[in-house]
Structure 1
Amino acid sequence: MDTDTSSPTHDSAPTSTPWPQVVATVALLTVIISVLLTAFAWPAVRSSAHDVPIVLAGPPTATDRIAAALQQRQPGAFDITRAADTAAAETAVRNREAYGAIDVSTGTPQVIIASAGSPVIAQTLQSIAAGLAQAPGGAPATPAVAVRDVAALPADDPRGAGLAAGSLPLVMGGILAAVLLTGRVRGTTRRLTGALAFAVSGGLALAAILQFWFGSITGNYGANAGVIALSIAATALTLLGLQTLLGTAGLGLGAVVVMLIGNPLSGTGTAPEMLPGWSGQLGQLLPPGAAGTLLRSTAFFDGRGATQPLIVLLSWLVLGAVLCVIGGVRAARTGGTGPSGTTAGPEPATAA
């Protein structure tokens, strides 16, 4: 007679997770949340003016006195250039070569600002105007120093809140496009086509909301939509390219760089010069920062100051496309299997 020597069912039940693994998980979560807080809060907490480009217009004796006063009041806050007259100072502001100007060339001081370039810096320059209107001893001088806004924000959004808040959907749009296309679409060409098509439709939709509903931006609608589309495409193609080469790890790495570095350091809500140290310059080399600067140029300055951010976004777009092609070619040579067993590369043989 045979005897059943198998173990009871309850003996094969999974055991509890070892405590060291629980501790390691808690430690990992603590690190993650600390990194998140640092990434998003550090730029805001340490925000202050650093080498903000402004223009001083007027005779050297007057501008030297103002420059010395600014340096004493806010050391290192301003990068000052000189102009001969009001027209030159205003041209520099309109061309986005400077955020504002202090003009004493006519004998009557005035401060020229461009609140559409940065509401925060515009407020700083307005406070300087109030300081210039103070006579020795703190008594108010008359007349008050005039403040002239040559590139004002729209009346429907005078604080620029819509543009600042809109930076996150631009980032999320590129990330979500890469994630969904990776999971739902097979074939490099189809993924690239899907990313570009979504960039166009997303750009048209977001620009319409910001411009016609919220009233947060002005200018040419097609140009604004093109900037948003370029931003989404640059992010999406870069992440798709990293996924094609490195698998899920590449997709995650790209998302972390764009979301945790690019978005907080974009300076869209303030200005790159308001971010601590070198972080503002770094942010302008990533898609979120370049997109914010480029959108301000098309929306409020007739495209002036658009060259550098346009080059940055196009560079990321080309890089992403090249990575996708390289990954697709490699997958084709290895039988259609990408990193970690993914099937990101070749087109199906029967595809139309």
Structure 2
Amino acid sequence: MATTDDGARTTFLKEVKNAVTPHASLLVLGVLGLMIAFITSYTGAFHHPKPADVPFGVVAPAQVSEQLVGKLDRLSGSPLDPRAVPSERAARQQLADRTIDGALIVGPRGRPDRLLVAGGGGASLAQAVELVVRAAEKAEHRTVRTVDVTPAARGDSRSLSSFYLVVGWCVGGYLCAAILAISAGARPSNGHRAVIRLAALALYAIVAGLAGAIIVGPVLGALPGTFFGLWGLGALIVFAVGATTLACQALLGIIGIGLAILLIVILGNPSAGGAYPYPLLPPFWRAIGPALPPGAGTWAARSLAYFHGRAVTGPLLVLSAWAVGGTLITLALSIFRKKGETPS
């Protein structure tokens, strides 16, 4: 009876080892780590949004301008980063250029002040600025009227369509790259295969960019702005994310998929300035957001949709750097891989 029990126990342990190999166990632990990082990153970024050092213009008579800027600068928690602006026209221009996120126009005696905001740049940020300014005006026994000089489109609730569009492009980019890379092995086997995969990714990126632009434009009417501009942006985002994923997989094999998810999904999405624009995010996420593809893409998409393409040079350079860097790393690791490595 004991021999039978020992044999059953041995058979069961063999089945467990066959079902969950040591390699699979390590991957499961990696997935657990990514899950914990996901919860930490999203909760850390979104659990307590509050404005901090929001670029803010003040248009007021010379005799009160400096005093008013000082009062706004000393507000508890430093929600605003105020600076004097010479005229309402200049304030509107700076809002259009995305150098400030709001402006207070002090009215003549007996008339209410006006707060200029740009809802297309992020509804949550415009509302946060309005709450801060209204509280400050109430303390001074003044009234303020809010004017949205760049409102979100009717089909773009809370100006989130740009963010969701970019997230979709990012998902398409790393999933396409992952499929191309693991279809015949986790590592590119040689330079020729890497070039073919990159070319296939480029073709896919063009189609994906076109599909996204059609959906948010002619189909749903969610975003205004230039159709061809969004198409080109989408193609660049998809290729940048895909090339980065191929580079991660060339470097680390299947574990590279996890690294790509960490960069794009876990760190990139909550820091993209979508649901909460940069001035509402904690310092860490605010710092990394503009340097990652989701953040650069979201900023550029909103600029194309609502700000006539202004302030897109930096984000486009960021996306181009990810695209070029991912391509070069993929090719280098594929061409100069160690001799004797078994081709995939």
Normalising by the residue count of structure 2, what TM-score does the alignment of the two structures yield?
Answer: 0.83
What residue number does 1:57 align with? 59
Corresponding position of 2:118: 114
Q: Which residue of 2 aligns with 1:210?
A: 216
Corresponding residue number in structure 1 for 2:94: 92
Alignment partner, residue 307 of structure 1: 313
Instruction: Name the residue aligned to 1:41.
Output: 43
Structure ID, larger Rg = 1
Higher normalized contact order (CA 8 Å, seq sep 6+, divided by chain length): 2
Which residue identity is paired with 1:190?
I
Q: Unmatched 5+ residue regions in structure 1?
A: 1-7, 344-352
Q: Distance in 2 between matches of 1:135 and 1:243?
A: 57
Q: Which residue of 2 aligns with 1:245?
A: 251
Q: Deviations over 1:32-79 (max 9, x none)?
A: 543221121110013211211111112344333433443454432112
Which protein is richer in helix relative to its size? 2
Aligned to 1:326: 332
2:11 is aligned, of 7, 13, 18, to 13
Cα gap change, 1:282/1:342 in structure 2, threshold over 3 Å: closer, same or farther? Answer: farther
CA deviations 1:147-191 (Å, max 9, x no partner) are: 222211101224223233334322211210111111236711111
| Corresponding residue for residue 81 of structure 2 | 79
**Number of positions where the alignment pairs a residue of Structure 1 with one of Structure 2:** 323
SS of residue paired to 2:283: coil
Deviation at 1:282, TM superposition (A): 0.7
Within the candidate set 258, 261, 284, 1:278 is matched to 284
- Write the distance in 2 (CA, Å) between the matches of 1:65 and 1:120: 28
Cα deviation, 1:83-130, whole Å, max 9, x if unaligned, reads 111111111111111111112276652111111112112112333554
Aligned counterparts of 1:96 and 1:28: Cα–Cα separation in 2: 40
Report the Cα distance in structure 2 between the residues aligned to 1:161 and 1:295, rounded to whole angstroms: 11
Q: CA contact under 8 A between 2:209 and 2:234: conserved in structure 1?
A: yes
1:205/1:29 CA distance change after superposition, 3 Å: closer
2:3 corresponds to: none
User: Structure 1 CA distance, aligned partners of 2:171 and 2:202?
Assistant: 15
Aligned in 2, Cα 1:252/1:34: closer, same or farther, shift over 3 Å?
A: closer
Cα separation, 2, equivalents of 1:215 and 1:269 = 20
Cα pair distance change 1:112/1:318, threshold 3 Å? same
Q: Helix, strand or coil for the counterpart of 2:151?
A: coil
- Counterparts of 1:117-132 in structure 2, within 5 Å, are 117-128=121-132, 130-131=134-135
In 1, the alpha carbon distance for the partners of 2:103 and 2:204 equals 41
Aligned partner of 1:145 in structure 2 is 144
In 2, distance between residues paired with 1:54 and 1:235? 33
CA apart distance, 1:12: 6.4
Cα distance change of structure 1 residues 256 and 128 upon mapping to structure 2, 3 Å threshold: closer
Q: 1:55 to 1:236 in 2, by over 3 A?
A: same
Root-mean-square deviation (Å):
3.0
Structure 2 runs not aligned, ≥5 long: 1-5
Q: CA deviation at 1:220?
A: 0.4
Task: Give, in whole Å, the separation in 1 of the partners of 2:275 and 2:73.
Answer: 25
**Secondary structure in 2 matching 1:166:** helix
Task: Please say if residues 284 and 309 of structure 1, whose CA atoms lie closer than 8 Å, have aligned partners that are also in contact.
Answer: yes
Counterpart AA for 1:170:
W
Per-residue CA deviations over 1:187-212 (Å, capped at 9, x if unaligned) read 11111011111111111111211122
Distance 2:26 2:241 in 1: 33
